[in-house]
Homo-oligomer: A and B are copies of this chain.
């Protein structure tokens, strides 16, 4: 990753001057959108430069290679996920935090923040079978998300808000599965009913193991 201070200012084809950080961000936002529709493999430095009206060498100055661009796009998608899903949930504690996360994820997926649905589901299906740095980065992101989710369930359980017999990893798997399925269904069917099903499934699953079911939904 190049040092921020070394990013050059660039002039766009319509004469606007873009500072490095601003250019980088614009490139990555467009890259994340393209990646959810055409895959991370569909990213092209030439195409991004053309669409954003900056020079190819300018994009190269930021990323150096397609793989670096793919890795930086994953980082940008993580930031968006944290802003939309995690940070608002952190205002709550225990079971309320867990349920807020569920609601935020449904809202985030339903809003189609990325045109091809959830960035990470798309990227995982694409790079899951392809060993290399991109897959390694996706594994790290997923491990971080998994640790957060399991930890959040454990804290709700330890606070006495979930039954003490709850298997945190099993519950994490199931909650996660519902959003993934809704994302895939909604993409293919153009039908948001899948998000309602996912929300109903998460709610029923949490109410079944909450010591006070009224605190869910």
Chain A residues within CB distance 8 Å of chain B: 36-39, 41-42, 115-117, 121-122, 124-130, 135, 138-139, 142, 169-170, 173-174, 176-178, 180-182, 184-185, 187-189, 194, 197-198, 200-201
Contacts of A126 in B (CB 8 A): 39, 125-126
Find out whether the CB atom of B187 lies under 8 angstroms from the CB atom of A142.
Answer: no
Contacts of A116 in B (CB 8 A): 128-129
- A201's partner among B37, B139, B170 (CB-CB below 8 A) is B170
Closest to A125 in B: B125
Closest to A139 in B: B188
Chain B nearest Cβ from A123, distance in angstroms? 9
Find out whether the CB atom of B122 lies under 8 angstroms from the CB atom of A125.
Answer: yes
Question: Which of A135, A139, A174, A200 has the largest count of B CB atoms less than 10 A from its CB?
Answer: A174
Question: Which of A36, A121, A125, A139 has the largest count of B CB atoms less than 10 A from its CB?
Answer: A125
- Given A116-B128, A117-B128, A173:B188 Cβ within 8 A: no
- Rounded to whole angstroms, the CA-CA distance of A188 and B126 in the bound complex is 10
Find out whether the CB atom of A178 lies under 8 angstroms from the CB atom of B187.
Answer: no
Find out whether the CB atom of A201 lies under 8 angstroms from the CB atom of B173.
Answer: yes
Contacts of A39 in B (CB 8 A): 39, 41, 126
Contacts of A187 in B (CB 8 A): 124-125, 128-129
- Rounded to whole angstroms, the CA-CA distance of A42 and B41 in the bound complex is 10
- A180's partner among B37, B117, B180, B189 (CB-CB below 8 A) is B180
Find out whether the CB atom of B189 lies under 8 angstroms from the CB atom of A174.
Answer: no
Find out whether the CB atom of B188 lies under 8 angstroms from the CB atom of A178.
Answer: no
